[in-house]
Amino acid sequence: MNYILRRTGSDLFRLLKRYSYKPAFRPKPAPPLQIATRHYHVYPQRSEITAPSRALVLTRQCPAIRRLLAPLVRTWIPHCRYQASPPRPELIHFTRGVGGLPWFLDWRKVAARFLLPGAAAIAAYYCSLEAVPYTHRTHFIFLPPRFERWLGELLFDNTKEDEADKILPPDHDESVRLRRLTSEIVGAAERTLAVPPVQQDEHMWITKRCRNHVKVPSMTRHLDGLDWEVIVIEDDTVNAMCLPGGKIMVYTGFLHHFKTDAEVAAVLGHEVGHVIARHTAEKASKSLVSMFMRTGIRQFFDNPRLVKYVSKFLQELPLSRRLEIEADHIGMLLLAAAGFDPYIAIEVQEKLGKLGGDSELQNYFSTHPSSKKRTKYLLKDKVMEEALELRRESSVSKAEKASSWS
- Per-residue pLDDT of 166-190, as tens digits, reads 999 999 999 999 999 999 999 999 8
For the chain, the distance separating the N- and C-terminal CA atoms, rounded to the nearest angstrom, is: 152
Number of domain units in the chain: 2
Same domain for 78 and 217, yes or no, is: no
Q: Is the dihedral of CA 265, 268, 272, 273 positive or negative?
A: positive
Within a domain: 368:
yes
DSSP 288-313: HHHHHHHHHHHTT---HHHHHHHHII
Domain edge (last residue) among 30, 58, 92: 92
- Closest C-alpha among 248, 246, 198 to residue 226: 246
**Hey, which of 189-198, 212-221, 295-304 has the most confident mean pLDDT?**
295-304
Within a domain: 213:
yes
Contact between 277 and 323 under an 8 Å Cβ cutoff? The reply is yes
Within a domain: 369:
yes
Same domain for 354 and 388, yes or no, is: yes
Query: Stretch 2-12: mean pLDDT, rounded?
Result: 55
Within a domain: 22:
no
Angle (nearest 5°) at CA 218 between 217 and 221: 115
- Give SS3 for 243: strand
Same domain for 181 and 294, yes or no, is: yes
Give 351-375 pLDDT, tens digit per residue. Answer: 998 887 778 888 888 888 999 999 9
Tell me which of 271, 282, 324, 326 is the catalytic residue. 271
DSSP 296-356: HHHTT---HHHHHHHHIIIIIHHHHHHHHHHHHHHHHHHHHHTTS-THHHHHHHHHHHHHH
- Closest C-alpha among 246, 137, 194 to residue 393: 194
Is the pLDDT confidence value at 43 over 60?
no
382 CB contacts (<8 Å, ≥6 apart)? none
Question: What is the pTM for the complete model shown?
Answer: 0.67
Within a domain: 234:
yes
Contact between 246 and 227 under an 8 Å Cβ cutoff? The reply is yes
Within a domain: 149:
yes
Same domain for 62 and 115, yes or no, is: no
- What's the rounded Cα separation, in Å, for the pair 28 and 24? 13
- What's the rounded Cα separation, in Å, for the pair 26 and 18? 18
Is the pLDDT confidence value at 271 over 70?
yes
CA distances for 335 relative to 176, 253, 348, angstroms: 19, 22, 12
Same domain for 120 and 87, yes or no, is: no
- Closest C-alpha among 308, 283, 278 to residue 294: 308
What percent of the chain lies above the pLDDT cut of 70? 68
Same domain for 85 and 117, yes or no, is: no
> Looking at residue 302, what is its pLDDT?
73
Within a domain: 1:
no
203 confidence band (pLDDT: 50, 70, 90): very low
Give 23-40 pLDDT, tens digit per residue. Answer: 555 667 767 655 544 444
Same domain for 252 and 345, yes or no, is: yes
Same domain for 275 and 131, yes or no, is: yes
Query: For residues 79 and 249, which has the higher predicted lDDT (pLDDT)?
Result: 249
- What's the rounded Cα separation, in Å, for the pair 191 and 163? 34
Range of the domain at 181: 111-396
Within a domain: 19:
no
- Give SS3 for 23: coil
Is the pLDDT confidence value at 269 over 50?
yes
For residue 271, indicate whether it is catalytic: yes
- What's the rounded Cα separation, in Å, for the pair 118 and 218? 27
Same domain for 201 and 288, yes or no, is: yes
C-alpha dihedral, 126 to 368 to 346 to 219, nearest 10°? 20
Is the pLDDT confidence value at 313 over 50?
yes
Same domain for 83 and 119, yes or no, is: no
Same domain for 144 and 212, yes or no, is: yes
Distance of CA 347 to the CA centre of its chain: 37
- What's the rounded Cα separation, in Å, for the pair 142 and 400? 43
Give 230-266 pLDDT, tens digit per residue. Answer: 999 999 888 899 999 899 999 999 999 998 999 999 9
Same domain for 315 and 377, yes or no, is: yes
